[in-house]
Amino acid sequence: MARPLSPVHGPYHRGMRLLLLGAPGSGKGTQATRLAAHFDVAHLSTGELLRDEVARATPLGEKVVSFMLSGELVPDELVEEVIHDRLLAAARAGGYVLDGFPRTVHQAEEAYKIAREAGATVHAVILLDAPDEVLTERLLSRAQGRSDDEPDTIRRRLEVYHAITTPLIDYYRDDRGVLVTVDASQSPDSVYAAILDELPQLVPPVGLEPTPGGF
């Protein structure tokens, strides 16, 4: 039986393409999971994909594990290796929610190239914005699970985010005009509702889309 379409789902049935940008602890994973289910598109998390390579002790996993454990970014070419084919396939299928990628300007350029190749560039970039104190508290309180949730590593991951990933905010706002900022210090339900509220302003409903790859 077809699942009922929400008012937001309806006009975008040809595929929603979103990118979530935000610091560690901003809730990218939680929101990306919900958005991907809502729009029925692939959820691509480079953190999850890399952790899976590490868990399976693949050659790629062995190359990335020390970067991840110390809170540093994995080198672009290794991240691109894990995401390239999956992003291309998702873009060809019409939709995706990217979570944790891109994280550098080089990766953003790469993501754009891959999506263009499929004629399916991103519709909207959602910046999940929260103060460092909120992020740190959240990361410390979930700290039993992931081995990169030690206090020193958390501090380093936030530093790396501010130094290397925040320039992407300007890239998407100024160069591509597709950025929307949501207050990520609210509850997960409120953040989700805020994202769905913002989307119609950035993503033209069916019939009014720009030409494919038009951004």
Judged by CB under 6 A, does residue 79 bind ligand ADP?
yes
Q: How far is the CB of 38 from ligand ADP (least distance, A)?
A: 20
Q: How far is the CB of 210 from ligand ADP (least distance, A)?
A: 27
Among 157, 171, 179, 191, binds ligand ADP (CB under 6 A): 157
Query: Which residues face 179 on adjacent strands?
Result: 125
Q: Candidates 7-15, 73-81, 167-175, 178-186 — which segment interacts with ligand ADP by CB under 6 A?
A: 73-81
- The number of CA neighbours under 13 Å toward the Cβ of 121 is 17
Judged by CB under 6 A, does residue 130 bind ligand ADP?
no
Judged by CB under 6 A, does residue 165 bind ligand ADP?
no
Judged by CB under 6 A, does residue 27 bind ligand ADP?
no
Among 40, 67, 185, 198, binds ligand ADP (CB under 6 A): 67
Q: How far is the CB of 137 from ligand ADP (least distance, A)?
A: 14
Cβ-based nearer residue to ligand ADP, 54 or 196: 54
For the CA atoms of 61, 63, 68, 69, the dihedral, rounded to the nearest 10 degrees, stands at 100
Query: Which residues face 126 on adjacent strands?
Result: 20, 180
Judged by CB under 6 A, does residue 31 bind ligand ADP?
no
How big is the site for ligand ADP, counted in residues (CB under 6 A)?
Answer: 18
Interaction mask 85-104, ligand ADP, x per CB under 6 A: ---------------xxxx-
Per-position DSSP letters for the chain, written without gaps between them: -PPPPPTTTGGGTT--EEEEEE-TTS-HHHHHHHHHHHHT-EEEEHHHHHHHHHHTT-HHHHHHHHHHHHTPPPPHHHHHHHHHHHHHHHHHHT-EEEES---SHHHHHHHHHHHHHTT---SEEEEEE--HHHHHHHHHHTTTS-TT-SHHHHHHHHHHIIIIITHHHHIIIIII--EEEEETTS-HHHHHHHHHHHHHHHSPPTTSPPSTT--
Q: How far is the CB of 135 from ligand ADP (least distance, A)?
A: 9
Q: How far is the CB of 94 from ligand ADP (least distance, A)?
A: 23
In the numeric block, which tokens belong to residue 119? Answer: 């004629």
Judged by CB under 6 A, does residue 21 bind ligand ADP?
no
Residues in touch with ligand ADP (CB under 6 A): 24, 46-47, 50, 67-68, 71-74, 79, 100-103, 107, 148, 157
